[in-house]
Structure 1
Amino acid sequence: MNKYLKMVLYGLIVWLVPFIISFAFVDSQGNFVIDETFFKSIMVVTGAFIGVILAVRYFRDVETNYLNEGIFLGLIWLLVNLALDLSMVYGGFFQMSVTQYFTDIGMRYLSMPIYTIGMGYALMQNAK
């Protein structure tokens, strides 16, 4: 599979899994059935777990330029996830403004390039 297609598909999966899991914690009116802070923690942990699994899987096929791959992978995932979420905000699925979205949710996606760049850096150091 083309590496760019793989980056985008993995980015979609990183977004989709927590999105699907979130339905277990929201009722039909869109209200949380658990504490909102606990819900957000579950989503962060779920996203990080899936993200690390997919980043490890992605890096199995990388043989050089680990740091550059980590930077690019993290940025692609960040853009894919922000685009999907913002389409939900603009589509009315998330009842919040764009500013509120970035303060409540959007900033959390910065963890994606943090761990993909970290993996790329560690692999680069290991390859020396």
Structure 2
Amino acid sequence: MNKYLKMVIFGLIVWLIPFIVSFAFVDRNGNFLIAETFFKSITIVTGGIVGVLLAIQYFKGVETDFVREGVILGTIWLVINLAIDLSLVYSGFFPMTVTQYFTDIGMRYLGMPIYTIGMGYILMQKLG
């Protein structure tokens, strides 16, 4: 499979799984069934687990330029996740302003390039 296609597919999965998991904690009217901070913690941890597992899977096929691959992978995932979420904000699915979105959700996606670049860096140190 083309590496860029793999990056995009993995980026979609990184967004989709926490989104699906979140439905277990929100009622049909969009009200939290648990404390909002606990809900946010669950989605962050779920996204982190899925992201790290997919990044590991991606890096298994990388043989050189580990940091560069980490930058590209993390950036693509960041852009995909922000684009999907912002389309939901603009469509009204997420009832919040863009500013609220970035303070409540959007900034958290910066973790994606942080851990993909970190993985690339440690691989470079060990193998490069």
- TM interval, shorter chain, is over 0.9
Q: How many Å apart are 1:124 and its aligned residue?
A: 0.3
RMSD: 0.4
Q: Distance in 2 between matches of 1:48 and 1:8?
A: 17
Residue identity opposite 2:117 in structure 1: I
TM-score where L is the length of structure 2: 0.99
Q: How many Å apart are 1:52 and its aligned residue?
A: 0.1
User: What whole-Å deviation, never above 9, does each CA across 1:67-102 have from its counterpart, x for those lacking one?
Assistant: 000000000000000000001000110000000000
Residue identity opposite 1:29 in structure 2: N
Q: Distance in 1 between matches of 2:30 and 2:116?
A: 32
TM-score where L is the length of structure 1: 0.99
Residue identity opposite 2:86 in structure 1: L
1:74-113 aligned at under 5 Å gives the runs 74-113=74-113
Residue identity opposite 1:114 in structure 2: I
Point out 4+ residue stretches in structure 1 off by more than 4 angstroms: none
Aligned residue in 2 for 1:121? 121
Q: How many Å apart are 1:127 and its aligned residue?
A: 1.1
Aligned residue in 2 for 1:9? 9
Q: Distance in 2 between matches of 1:77 and 1:27?
A: 28
For structure 1, which runs of at least 5 residues remain unmatched after alignment? none
For structure 2, which runs of at least 5 residues remain unmatched after alignment? none
Q: Distance in 2 between matches of 1:3 and 1:72?
A: 11
